[in-house]
Structure 1
Amino acid sequence: MSQKNETLSLFLAVVITIGLIFGGLWFLMERWAQLSGTVPKASESSNTDNPINQFVNNNRCNVPNLPEGTFNYGGSTTWAPIRKEADSVLQNQCPQFILRYTQSPSAEPGSGTGIRMLIDNQLAFSQSSRSVKAEENTEAKQKGFSLKEIPVAIDGIAIAVNHNLNIPGLTIAQLKNIYTGKMTNWQQVGGPNLPITVYSRTKEAGGTVDFFVENVLNKENFAANVSYVDTTTEAVRKVAMNTGAIYYASASEVVPQCTIKSLPIGRISGQFLPPYQEPVIPQSQCPNKRNQLNSKVFRSGDYAITRNLFVIVKQNGQTDQQAGEAYANWLLTPQAQELIQKAGFVRIK
């Protein structure tokens, strides 16, 4: 009898142990399912209480007429900060609208290259820091469509010089004379007796150079003494090392720099306006503090070398036109204009 009791006790112990093991496994599996979201908790039975549903609802795409699909776009290098700040937000809000930045395999990136690729149907729309040229629109029309430019931001050209150059500013005429070779010494514009070292990117580089040649040089050619650089970063480094150097670029690229200073410019002598907000931030306080764009004079057009940034859209009645116009219209919304300002440009609205 005692042997039977021992056998029964052993059997019950085994059963209880197995039950506890399976019960523990069941509890762990249920808990894991709840944490991974495959089984809703009781408190998540309502869609309105589900944090995942709230995330989706709060990030719903509200861009009118935005098509679905992948769209190639590109162009101006000036636009790089906008692509970083604004386009990423649009992609998060509207994942069905996929933007793919596309460069030419054979030409330098820039506004002109982007418009060329747009005409050749390699891009759905392009970004430009200058207006469309008449010959570009003519060529597009020969292919069955026209090009529409939609302004979405304001920028300007800032003149970079060495911190040690003592000069109050330059007029547009003086700037033209420097870049066309008629003035070669800073003494000719009220500065020290020092040769002017002139830097520029090449004409093939993009919209900023095109705009400068068209609006400052009045379509005249650069002088033979102009030295060409590949990037603004390279130019800033060279200007910082040479007291007599000068360079121009988008104000958003020049004004916040620590190693060089932006030069006030004007349409007539003695009436110079700085591209930065006054008072100027001393070099000793940079980069903890940086100079900010003088938005007021850019927006009013009082600053002598002000320009717009454009989305260039094909007028072909197809999905590419829909994508370009929807993208441009989104950039004109209050949210996107804030992002454009954060990227270092002046909001147009």
Structure 2
Amino acid sequence: MNKKTLFLLGVISLLVVGGVIWWLIGEKPEPEVKNPPLFRCPQEVVQNVDSPENKIKSDKCFAYIYEIPNGNWLHGGSTTWAPIRSKVNPKIEDIFPEFKLSYKQHPSLPPGSGTGILMLIKGQISFAESSRPLTDAELQRSRNRGFQLKQVPVAIDGIVIVVNHELDVAGLTLKQVQDIYTGKIKNWSEIGGANIEILPYSRPVYSGTTPFFQEEILSNKKFGENVIFIPTTTKALREVKANKGAIYFATASEVIPQCSVKPLAIAFESGGNFVVPYKGDFVPPENCSEQNRNQPNLEAFENGKYPITRRLFVIVKKDGSFDEKAGEAYGKLLLTDEGQNLIKEAGYSPIR
């Protein structure tokens, strides 16, 4: 073995030994954490909740919200809110057992955004839930009584158009929806369907969904004389299931999971992209079950690709009373990360 070969072997040996020593004593990269632990919210009010340290966390969890007033608080309003109430309110009362929430229905008027806001103005409830913004008339009525109303947006909702499963129509443009509900289009054959009379159904005007639909989709035009007003979504869905020409609109969380009706894709305009209001592949009625149902397309509602969306509001009476504190507290709770996650579980898009 010549000197050159010995020299090369020595260099290689030094490199190998040096590499082993560096690996043993050198800093090693931290292993990649593919699923970092989630922030877990406390299940009871934290100590010193109003401390500066805890106030910083007040946008995360119910338990970090301070100034929650004890008492029995009556609330009411939009039926669209029903899934949110059933998902969120029990959790709030688990954390704040002295913050008791009770839904109050008007003794004679049907439930809805307008009814709830009217009850709030009259002092019959502590705060209201609405599926539409406050009207000028409602704002003026509250001022006449010496206080202001405040609307706190907490969620985004999609309005879905549903038809009978046997109807051979997959989607509509916004203009076609408008023409159907103003009475301009009265037969499905006018828009590529079968020769079947259109039976358009709607909730009455006291519902928050109906004024929103009339203002935003119908451009404040009157409903057609052929529109059939029906008191509840449950009854409307029965009519749609029973009548091949029927059509109805309602909040996504109420109708998307239903096996009995078909949700339509909607496009902003003719030639535009049709966007379905459900997530993933459509589950046909024969495969629809408690464990396998269509779910709202929350991503399309959030990013604006689905054409018919709106905000949901907590309505607060600004009069310096304990009712005001209760309404403000409820709005703050829903805007925490915990509240927004529960809203998403209820079938609505979080607003933050």
With normalisation by structure 1, the TM-score equals: 0.81
**Map of 2:111 onto structure 1:** 109
CA distance in 2 between partners of 1:327 and 1:64 (Å): 11
Q: Structure 1 residue 344: deviation in Å?
A: 1.6
Matches within 5 A, 1:282-301: 282-287=284-289, 288-301=291-304
CA distance in 1 between partners of 2:150 and 2:229 (Å): 32
Q: Structure 1 residue 152: deviation in Å?
A: 0.7
**Map of 1:72 onto structure 2:** 74
For the residue of structure 2 that corresponds to 1:160, the secondary structure is strand
Q: Which amino acid in 2 is paired with 1:342?
A: E
For the residue of structure 1 that corresponds to 2:202, the secondary structure is strand
CA distance in 1 between partners of 2:280 and 2:342 (Å): 23
Residue 244 (structure 1) aligned with residue 245 (structure 2): yes
Q: Structure 1 residue 311: deviation in Å?
A: 0.2
Q: Structure 1 residue 151: deviation in Å?
A: 0.8
Cα deviations by residue, 1:101-147 (Å, 9 ceiling, x for unpaired) = 11111211110011111111111110000000011111111111111
Q: Which runs of 5+ in 2 are unaligned?
A: 1-41, 46-62
Residue 59 (structure 1) aligned with residue 44 (structure 2): yes
Q: Which amino acid in 2 is paired with 1:263?
A: L
**Map of 1:136 onto structure 2:** 138
CA distance in 2 between partners of 1:64 and 1:99 (Å): 17
Distance 1:58 1:217, change over 3 A: closer
Residue 308 (structure 1) aligned with residue 293 (structure 2): no
Aligned partner (choices 336, 339, 343) of residue 342 of structure 2: 339
For the residue of structure 2 that corresponds to 1:246, the secondary structure is strand
Distance 1:314 1:285, change over 3 A: same
**Map of 1:234 onto structure 2:** 235
CA contact (8 A) 2:298 2:347 kept: no
Q: Which amino acid in 2 is paired with 1:293?
A: P
**Map of 1:37 onto structure 2:** none
Q: Structure 1 residue 175: deviation in Å?
A: 0.7
Percent identity of equivalent pairs = 48
Bigger CA radius of gyration = 1
Cα deviations by residue, 1:145-188 (Å, 9 ceiling, x for unpaired) = 11111111110110010111112311111111111111100111
Aligned partner (choices 130, 142, 154) of residue 152 of structure 1: 154
Q: Structure 1 residue 286: deviation in Å?
A: 0.4
Q: Structure 1 residue 228: deviation in Å?
A: 2.2
Q: Which amino acid in 1 is paired with 2:250?
A: A
Q: Which runs of structure 1 show a deviation greater than 6 angstroms over 4 or more consecutive aligned residues?
A: none
For the residue of structure 2 that corresponds to 1:327, the secondary structure is helix
Matches within 5 A, 1:1-349: 58-60=43-45, 61-204=63-206, 206-270=207-271, 271-287=273-289, 288-349=291-352
Q: Structure 1 residue 214: deviation in Å?
A: 1.2
**Map of 1:53 onto structure 2:** none
Q: Structure 1 residue 70: deviation in Å?
A: 1.5
Distance 1:315 1:194, change over 3 A: same
CA distance in 1 between partners of 2:320 and 2:295 (Å): 41
CA distance in 1 between partners of 2:264 and 2:170 (Å): 8
Q: Which amino acid in 1 is paired with 2:251?
A: S
Q: Structure 1 residue 197: deviation in Å?
A: 1.1
For the residue of structure 1 that corresponds to 2:118, the secondary structure is helix
Cα deviations by residue, 1:289-330 (Å, 9 ceiling, x for unpaired) = 111111111001221110011000112222222111111110
CA distance in 2 between partners of 1:58 and 1:255 (Å): 32
CA distance in 1 between partners of 2:276 and 2:269 (Å): 14
CA distance in 1 between partners of 2:91 and 2:170 (Å): 41
For the residue of structure 2 that corresponds to 1:163, the secondary structure is coil
CA distance in 2 between partners of 1:98 and 1:82 (Å): 16
Q: Structure 1 residue 254: deviation in Å?
A: 1.1
Q: Which amino acid in 2 is paired with 1:215?
A: E
The number of aligned residues is 292
Q: Which amino acid in 2 is paired with 1:66?
A: I
Cα deviations by residue, 1:56-109 (Å, 9 ceiling, x for unpaired) = x94235422211111111100111111111001111210111112111112111
CA distance in 2 between partners of 1:223 and 1:276 (Å): 28
Q: Structure 1 residue 284: deviation in Å?
A: 2.1
CA distance in 2 between partners of 1:58 and 1:135 (Å): 42
Larger mean CA deviation between 315-324 and 144-153 belongs to 315-324
Q: Which amino acid in 2 is paired with 1:75?
A: G
Normalized per residue, the structure richer in helix is 1
Q: Which runs of 5+ in 1 are unaligned?
A: 1-56
